[in-house]
Structure 1
Amino acid sequence: MFYRKTVYWRTTVEPIKFSIIVPAHNEEKEISKCLESIKAAAAPYGEQAEIIVVLNRCTDRTEEIALAYGCTTIKNDDRNLAKIRNAGARAARGEILVTIDADTVMSSFMLAAAEKLLATGLFIGGGVTGKFDRMSIGITASVAALSVPIMLKYGLISIGIFWCRKADFDAIGGFNEGMLLAEDCDFARRLALYGLRNQKLFGTIPFAMTTSSRKFDQYGDWLLIKRPEIIAAFLKENDQKLADQLYYDFEN
């Protein structure tokens, strides 16, 4: 009599230090600069850093460029940045998650600074401060016009690039998928509150990014002064029409 022996193979995914998540909708003009900056910041970590590009309804060369840089690519077709970022987080192997937009460049010290702050045990994670690649009086006024009501609603927070341990990201449920706008501000507030409950601070890494002024280039530097309905939409959080215009259908 012969017996069939069934062998069960156990596969494990080896953890790494960093997973950097980049949402991207038709970003062939911008994403190379973003990925170059991540590669430079991640150079000291070697194979301990991965870049996950979440392709969102891309019809250009974004995927080709991402693969050329050795990135992991996944697809998500939702018109919802929270869902797009969360899809990247689910695929992540890193102990530390970092989120950055495809039109943003991180400073060379950004990842090392995040690791150092988290290693102290004093910080739950946080955001960064930075600058636009072009400034003007109109852009400054527009940013101020949005920043004040956002600060009054969500508190004194920093956004731009987020960094935290994946365990803490999962503990607060990631980004709020019920929001179409200001999901980053909401995430920062919830992460900060979770940190307080665990006797940890929400940190800010200064001068850690440069982001594109392309929306001001297209719509005008005084955009948020001339169109206060955009500020109202951010506070409302679920204006699909404006969300599509500013993010999900925006073409550079």
Structure 2
Amino acid sequence: MFIGVRVIEQERVDLTVVIPAHNEEKYIQRCLDSIQKAAASYQGCIEVVVVLNRCTDQTRQIAELYNCVIITEDSKNLSKIKNAGVRVARGEMIVTIDADSWMAENMLVEVDTLLKTGKYIGGGVGAIRSERVSLGIIASSMVIVLPLLLKYGNIAIGMFWCYKKDFDAIQGFNEKMLMTEDADFAKRLKQWGKKNGKLFGIIRKATLFISTRRFDTLGDWAIFKNPKIIMGYWTGGKNQKTADLAYYEDQKR
């Protein structure tokens, strides 16, 4: 029924997709389905690495059905979780995506095309579409995104892509940061690109779709009832309790 996306051991891997997963049984199949479709248009060999994080549901079993590479990292630190996945990756190119997001069929082709031009150090995705929109979601997004733009500049987050050698050169995601690690990564990747005469790329010809599960669970205006979460996004989330509230303890999946 399912077509595996993991390559066999002796084959060369061109691209690795890394997915951090904390109790994602409701969402990860949609993500993996989208990667399969994107892989069908991609000419190289890919593997998918799923990093299980304290999962107590069927996330592992679903990942196994898709023949994913599966590892475990149980810390409450998204940087450590993502870095663990990249460490075992065999691909020359790296893509990171959240388990509750899904990509357009041409996404991996776009990543491959842009990186092989030699103009880009890597980058993010500019074409992002939420599965639903409301005034509360828009307001919440602005409260989070605008300060990040002021602090980190014109970057794109949500999904990252780069060569593994460049990921390693900037030491991956900052494990001292418990929140906004993605914006920090984008800024450092952009700076590394500038040193090497390359641009930070933003994919606009392929769409990244993101879920609204936090809003669906807590309410579209819930973030305004939790100012500690807002402050955590603004400051990089140095407080573990705030990070737990944003990423773990508040998510009844």
Q: Give the AA of the match of 1:239.
A: N
Q: Give the AA of the match of 2:68.
A: C
Alignment of 1:128-207 (within 5 A): 128-129=125-126, 130-206=128-204, 207=206
In percent, how many aligned pairs have the same letter? 51
Q: Give the AA of the match of 1:251.
A: K
Query: Aligned with 1:83: secondary structure?
Result: helix
Cα offset, 1:246, TM superposition? 1.9
User: 67-76 or 44-53: which moved more?
Assistant: 44-53
Is 1:122 aligned to 2:122, yes or no? Answer: no
Alignment of 1:41-80 (within 5 A): 41-45=38-42, 48-80=45-77
Runs of 4+ aligned residues of structure 1 deviating over 4 Å after TM superposition are none
1:200, 1:224 → 2: CA distance?
A: 37
User: 136-145 or 218-227: which moved more?
Assistant: 218-227
Cα offset, 1:220, TM superposition? 1.7
User: 78-87 or 37-46: which moved more?
Assistant: 37-46
Query: Could you report, residue by residue, the CA deviation over 1:229-248 in whole angstroms, capped at 9, with x for unpaired residues?
Result: 32211122212112112213
Which of the residues 81, 98, 106 maps onto 1:109? 106
- The aligned counterpart of 1:219 is 218
Query: Aligned with 1:60: secondary structure?
Result: coil
Per the alignment, do residues 242 and 13 of structure 1 end up closer, same or farther by CA in structure 2, a change over 3 Å counting?
farther
Identify unmatched segments of 5+ residues in structure 2. Answer: 1-8
TM-score (norm 1): 0.91
User: 65-74 or 12-21: which moved more?
Assistant: 12-21
Query: Could you report, residue by residue, the CA deviation over 1:79-137 in whole angstroms, capped at 9, with x for unpaired residues?
Result: 10000000000100001000000000111111100111111111000001302111111
Cα offset, 1:13, TM superposition? 6.9
1:240, 1:13 → 2: CA distance?
A: 41
User: 18-27 or 240-249: which moved more?
Assistant: 240-249
Query: Aligned with 1:16: secondary structure?
Result: coil
1:64, 1:218 → 2: CA distance?
A: 24
Query: Aligned with 2:123: secondary structure?
Result: strand
Cα offset, 1:46, TM superposition? 6.6
2:108, 2:19 → 1: CA distance?
A: 15
Contact 2:229–2:246, Cα closer than 8 Å, also in 1:
no
Q: Give the AA of the match of 2:64.
A: L
Q: Give the AA of the match of 1:119.
A: K
Is 1:88 aligned to 2:85, yes or no? Answer: yes
Contact 1:143–1:224, Cα closer than 8 Å, also in 2:
no
Contact 2:16–2:47, Cα closer than 8 Å, also in 1:
yes
1:161, 1:136 → 2: CA distance?
A: 23
TM-score (norm 2): 0.91
2:47, 2:83 → 1: CA distance?
A: 16
- The aligned counterpart of 2:3 is none
- The aligned counterpart of 1:236 is 235
Q: Give the AA of the match of 1:211.
A: I
1:202, 1:47 → 2: CA distance?
A: 23
Cα offset, 1:226, TM superposition? 4.1
1:251, 1:29 → 2: CA distance?
A: 11
Cα offset, 1:192, TM superposition? 0.3
User: 214-223 or 133-142: which moved more?
Assistant: 214-223
Contact 1:17–1:94, Cα closer than 8 Å, also in 2:
yes
When Rg is computed on C-alpha atoms for both structures, the one with the higher figure is 1
